[in-house]
Structure 1
Amino acid sequence: MRSLLIFVAYFGICFLPECFVSGLTFSTMQNQKAIQNKLLKEYKKSLRPIFNQDLPVTVDILFLFRKMHHYDVVSGLFEFTGGIRLSWRDFSLQWNPKDYGNATATRLPIDEVWIPNIGVRNPAEREEFMQIEIAGFSVEVTSKGVVHLRNSGLIKMMCQSDVTYYPFDSHTCSLVLAILNYNSNEVKFHTKTQVEESSDFKDNGQWNVTVLGSRISSAAVSVHLEIRRRPSFLVVNIFLPVIFILAMNTVVFLLPVESGERVSFSITGFLSFTVFITILTDQVPHQSNPLSILSSLFAFQLANSTMILICNVLVVNLYHRTSNINSSCLLAFVRLTRRNTRSKAPVLKIDPKVHPDSDCREPNDDNEFDNGFTWKDVASVFDKCFLFAFLSSTFVPIFVFILYVSHRF
């Protein structure tokens, strides 16, 4: 009995695996070697893979957008990782799966078979074309002769920037892929090619990229991408500080003249605003067409800040005057402005010697315009007028800009 068990165990170990292997239906390494030897034995990769050489080879192309690396708005350089999937039929790469263990696919080195060289027609470099690197890749070949090539890599291209609505700007770029080593009569793209985002697409913290679609011709495919800025960082770190500085410049007219700090306060605010304009200048393209609306707004606010500084100096000068007020127009303006704040306004004396048609009269020797108003009162009135005027000129354009760009964004 023991001898029988030993015999059965020996038979199972030695003979049963060989019996199962002989009945396998999947491909083995020997099958793959045989397929590759057969396909590459008399293969000529210099010939286009089509029986009738007068007809073009049809190539299906699929572009995948994987990851955005960098977009320089000033120079227009756009760097991203993209994938390209190509497929075509090669009548020389066919076999009968039944003769090779039912193997329906194999992989061949890319430098051993015919491939269409795909390049970027609008690259960032000075060359007219930039060939997409495919060294080290392999192609998948099916038993029916269909060849699949999957490739991905870093692509650099130029993208015309449009900063009209900066920092709420968006840019439309077109990546033009073309066949470099053949013309349209020899190789053509399939007209039903689609473009999509890759399933492993990685988002960018500064830009939001959207694939709009593609336009395909027989010799080239144009992939349209939309790059939209994420404005949160710039709004918090540039736009809001500028608004605070402009508000600080405006409220200088609430600061008492007696403090002696009004002029230095205005100069400090003016210089701070100038620094932020310099920062903005470094981040937008140095071009006039199109010109950023924010740049125009900041230029207007720079002129507005200059006027605030000049008016502040004027108010300080009026406040420290000690002479009499010799203009009836100025007195009438002060009385009109302060009539709601003074219970009893002094009555303006009218000189009968002055011509009745004259609005602004000069005082006589008796100083007839000395009616209780001082230059301090005049400075106070101008402070209120300038405060209202510059609050309007500062915040109304900003409010209009926010409404305009937010509606578009």
Structure 2
Amino acid sequence: MDTNAVLLRFVLLSALFPTNIFCQSGKNVNSLLTYLFTTEGYNKKVRPLTDQSQAVDVSVDFYLNSVIEFDEQDESLKTSGFLSCSWTDQYLTWTPSAYNNINELFIPQDDIWKPDISLRNTFKSFTGLGASYLNAYVTSAGTVEWNPYQVLESTCSVDITYFPFDTQTCELKFTAWSYSKAHVELNQGSRGVQLEEYVENSAWKLVETSAREINTDEAAVFFTLKLKRRPIFYIINAILPVVFLSLLNIFTFLLPVSSGERASYAVTVFLSLAVFLTIIANELPKNSEKTSLLSVYLMLMSSLSTFIVILSIAEVRIATRNANTKPVTKIYMIVIKIAHFITCKTCKKSVTPAKVSTPKACKRLDLEDHITWTEAVDAIDIVSFWFSLLFTFLCTLILGAVAVNGDT
């Protein structure tokens, strides 16, 4: 097909299907920028309203990317994400047809007016959002969209009562620092906290988000994150070992006094509990406002262990007494009778109904019988064993149920 035929076909198509074909060049963009910043004399120090008595309406949404770290000791939360801010700049408007139909521009954020939005409850340093190399999106109608990406470190008050089954609520407080609500009004956007690109944290589960704006003279918007701890790590590495040590604590009374190892065994268990108490204390914030139920449980078990150590040492001395020169007193007789009652109930469960009616099934204690101090120590062991078992069971059951269900 020759050149004339191609040209004729192009003319016919243009006549049948008329379209506006524009070729936007760098000169067009340069002319537009010259018009806005030189001819019109755009000044980023002036609020973008022709009527300066009005407030600039800024819509703010938050796109959360990830929860990087939640430090309970420092009571700080590190997150990554960006704000989606939009407003109308009446000094950044133009007629698209005058510049080859340019409808949008990307302008460095430091070249135009923007609200000095900052994280109010910052943990380390107070800095503005964004960076000089980031651009703002501007349309011919003056709509400005600014999306500053940031790694945010904010303060967060920690409630450790139900650790490690706790749920923490943290707020990110963004404010236009230099402006009051009469000059800049920050409004919660229609989307609130967006999780389109959110990456789950291995230690914390994001269970709820919300956004709100405050109705005071301050221009501010708050984004709330509700985080629930994933407790499996602490269950395996802290709670189960403590429960096992508590059981070992009880079995001190099954070790005969004559073995000579009871006191050392009891002290070893006590020191093990003290080590776990130190480890857990290092995981919690150093404040006195709230007390962890796990710390309470450890203190109760440590108190029981202290009681067992003292009792074990006392039993070693009691066992060396001579019943002929120093008879067993009435107080010990009561303990012996309680121990005999406990063992008799166990005995009745182990025999058949026909044998239960036999008086010889369980021998009753005659207080006039000759009782040795070794028998008194054995009775103390029986009573102490069942008391410690009941105490440990109730503490574990009650505190565990409250911790698991208390923060739901």
Determine which of 150, 153, 176 is the counterpart of 2:147: 150
Does the aligned pair in 1 maintain the 2:162–2:404 contact within 8 Å? no
2:138 and 2:364 mapped to 1: Cα distance?
100
Q: Deviations over 1:199-257 (max 9, x none)?
A: 11111111223423323446111222223222111111011100101110111111233
**Looking at CA atoms only, which structure, 1 or 2, has the larger radius of gyration?**
1
Equivalent of residue 175 in structure 1, options 169, 172, 175 = 172
Seen in structure 2, the aligned counterparts of structure 1 residues 401 and 117 have a Cα distance that, compared at 3 Å, is same
Quickly say closer, same or farther: Cα 1:316–1:283, change in 2 above 3 A. Answer: same
Q: How many Å separate the matches in 2 of 1:397 and 1:296? A: 10
- Select 2:394's aligned residue among 393, 396, 400: 396
Partner of 1:360: none
Give the match for residue 255 of structure 1.
255
Deviation of the 1:26 alpha carbon: 6.8
Equivalents in 2 of 1:114, 1:234: separation in Å? 49
In structure 2, C-alpha distance between the alignment counterparts of 1:156 and 1:98, rounded to whole Å: 46
- C-alpha change, 1:56 and 1:334, in structure 2 (3 Å) is closer
Q: Pick from 22, 26, 32 the counterpart of residue 35 of structure 1.
A: 32
Cα deviation 1:342-394 (Å, max 9, x = unaligned): 85557444xxxxxxxxxxxxxxxxxxxxx343222212111110001111222
C-alpha distance after superposition, 1:130-160 (max 9, x if no partner) = 3223321111111211111111111112111
- Identity level (%): 27
1:353 maps to which residue?
A: none
- Following superposition, the deviation at residue 311 of structure 1 comes to 1.6
Describe the SS at the equivalent of 2:145.
strand
Q: Give the secondary structure class of the aligned counterpart of 2:149.
A: strand
Corresponding letter in the other structure for 1:376? T
Equivalent pair of 1:85/1:150 in contact (CA under 8 Å): yes
In the alignment, is the contact (CA less than 8 A) between 1:194 and 1:214 conserved in 2?
A: no
What's the counterpart of residue 69 of structure 1?
A: 68
Task: Give the whole-Å Cα distance in 2 for the aligned partners of 1:193 and 1:332.
Answer: 75
1:60 and 1:190 in contact (8 A); partners too: yes
Change (3 A) 1:315 1:392: same
Which runs of no fewer than 5 residues in structure 1 stay unpaired? Answer: 350-370
How far is 1:27 from its partner?
Answer: 4.5
Separation (CA, whole Å) in 2 of partners of 1:406 and 1:120: 34
Alignment-mate amino acid for residue 219 of structure 1: A
TM-aligned CA deviation for residue 185 of structure 1: 2.0
Cα distance, 1:9 vs structure 2: 6.8
* Distance of 1:269 and 1:347 partners within structure 2: 37
8 Å contact from structure 1 (residues 311, 386) kept in 2: no
Query: 1:12 deviation in Å?
Result: 6.0
2: CA distance between counterparts of 1:11 and 1:256? 114
Q: Give the equivalent residue in structure 1 for 2:355.
A: none
Give the length in aligned residue pairs: 377
Is 2:303 the counterpart of 1:303?
A: yes
Match of 1:189 among 179, 186, 189: 186
Tell me, yes or no, if the aligned pair for 1:191 and 1:216 is still in contact at 8 Å: no
- Gap change, CA 1:100 and 1:11, over 3 Å in 2: farther
List aligned pairs for 1:1-400, cutoff 5 A.
8=2, 24-25=21-22, 27-41=24-38, 42-125=41-124, 129-190=126-187, 194-209=191-206, 210-217=208-215, 219-324=219-324, 325-331=327-333, 333-335=335-337, 337-338=339-340, 340=344, 343-345=362-364, 347-349=366-368, 371-400=369-398
Secondary structure of the corresponding residue to residue 251 of structure 2: helix
Q: Which residue of 2 aligns with 1:362?
A: none
Letter in 1 for 2:134: F
| Secondary structure of 2:371's aligned partner | coil
How far apart, CA to CA, are the structure 2 residues paired with 1:106 and 1:346?
A: 99
Is the CA contact (8 Å cut-off) linking 1:122 and 1:158 kept in structure 2? yes
For normalisation by structure 1, the TM-score amounts to 0.83
- Conserved 8 A contact 1:47-1:114: yes
Secondary structure, aligned partner of 1:243: helix
Question: 1:74-122 CA deviation, whole Å, 9 max, x = no partner?
Answer: 2212211131111111122222233334332221122221111111222
Which letter maps to 2:398? Answer: V
Which range moves more in the overlay, 158-167 or 381-390?
158-167
Question: Gapped runs of 5+ residues in structure 2?
Answer: 348-359
